[in-house]
């Protein structure tokens, strides 16, 4: 490559990188600079914003609890189990991540709605889910759960099966081996998956709108409150957007820290294993 072409390549690459970063960061920076911090805090103190925030935190906690409770055994099963059609199951689990939120909302309605698959059973038990806070939590769990399952599955995949086999050889039961060895070793990846799922659940909009509605004080989460506030006052919508962005940033920071600790622990374990090998084997 000639010097001129090399310079053009470097300049062109720098321009593309700068434009890409500007496209990603400018909308986020615009949110934080559109309203003064004092005004943003004042807008967040409105009854609508507080009610939406509390509901979002409550339903996110509910959904995350269900995601971890049901997703952890599922992730372990996918990691350790071998069965026909496993690839199909793995693909199906990831579908809620890529399908449009409207499709997720319609699917939930067709299961839990009055005319859905479970509608008659729920009606006989005098249970109503649609247009309630429970519907919000279910919508959040549906769209965010696969993110946790995928991350937890990868964390379990990283655990050396020989460690589990050694524990079983020494007399540990499967449950004891899981709680004492497998789960602690995968904990950083599981924590990262939980943080990612929490961030996705906190920002869920489309499926919640269709399945739970936009009822202030009942099903109106922060994303729905932002949508509603755009019709009445941009400042309030911007203030709530700043809050969601800040929460998402903190959760992503937690994911980054957990990932670094996971890789650091893996490097230390690899160094210890190499130190135990003879020189002839470490040199290979």
Q: Quote the crossing angle between the two packed helices 234-276 and 183-202, to the nearest 10°.
A: 170
Is residue 96 within 8 A of residue 143, CB to CB? The reply is yes
pLDDT of residue 269: 52
Is residue 140 within 8 A of residue 63, CB to CB? The reply is yes
Is residue 195 within 8 A of residue 254, CB to CB? The reply is yes
Instruction: State whether residue 125 is helix, strand or coil.
Output: coil
Q: All domains of the chain, ordered by start, with CATH? A: 54-265 (1.10.3720.10)
- The per-residue pLDDT string of the chain (284 residues; one tens digit each, 9 = 90 and over) reads 577 788 888 889 999 999 999 998 898 888 878 777 777 777 778 888 889 989 999 999 999 999 999 999 999 999 987 888 888 999 999 999 999 988 999 999 999 998 889 989 998 998 899 999 999 999 999 999 999 999 999 999 988 888 888 888 888 888 888 888 888 888 888 988 998 999 999 999 989 999 999 998 899 999 998 888 887 777 778 888 888 888 888 888 877 776 666 556 555 554 544 444 444 443 34
Q: Who contacts 177 (Cβ-Cβ below 8 Å, separation ≥6)?
A: 164, 167, 168
Q: Quote the crossing angle between the two packed helices 3-34 and 234-276, to the nearest 10°.
A: 130
Task: Give the integer Cα–Cα distance in Å for 30 and 179.
Answer: 46
Is residue 202 within 8 A of residue 142, CB to CB? The reply is no
Length of the chain: 284
Is residue 197 within 8 A of residue 258, CB to CB? The reply is no
pLDDT of residue 281: 43
pLDDT of residue 251: 80
């Amino acid at each position: 490559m000639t010097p001129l072409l090399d310079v053009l390549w470097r300049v062109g690459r720098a321009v593309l990188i700068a434009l890409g970063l500007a496209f990603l960061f400018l909308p986020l920076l615009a949110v934080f600079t559109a309203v003064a911090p004092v005004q943003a805090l004042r807008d967040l103190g409105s009854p609508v914003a507080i009610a939406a925030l509390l509901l979002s935190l409550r339903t996110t906690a509910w959904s995350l609890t269900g995601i971890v409770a049901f997703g952890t055994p599922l992730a372990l099963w996918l990691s350790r189990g071998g069965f026909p059609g496993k690839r199909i199951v793995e693909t199906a689990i990831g579908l809620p991540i890529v399908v449009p939120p409207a499709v997720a909302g319609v699917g939930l309605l067709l299961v839990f709605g009055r005319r859905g698959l479970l509608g008659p059973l729920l009606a006989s038990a005098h249970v109503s889910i649609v247009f309630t806070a429970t519907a919000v939590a279910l919508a959040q769990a549906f769209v965010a759960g696969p993110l946790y399952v995928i991350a937890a599955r990868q964390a379990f995949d990283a655990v050396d099966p020989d460690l589990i086999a050694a524990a079983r050889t020494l007399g540990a039961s499967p449950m004891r081996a899981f709680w004492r060895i497998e789960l602690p070793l995968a904990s950083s990846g599981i924590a990262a998956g939980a943080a990612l799922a929490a961030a996705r659940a906190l920002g869920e909009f489309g499926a919640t709108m269709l399945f739970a509605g936009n009822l202030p004080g009942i099903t109106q989460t922060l994303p729905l409150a932002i949508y509603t506030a755009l019709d009445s006052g941009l400042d309030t919508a911007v203030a709530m957007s700043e809050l969601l962005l800040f929460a998402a940033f903190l959760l992503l920071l937690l994911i980054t820290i957990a990932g670094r600790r996971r890789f650091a622990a893996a490097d230390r374990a690899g160094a210890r294993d190499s130190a135990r090998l003879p020189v002839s084997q470490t040199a290979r």
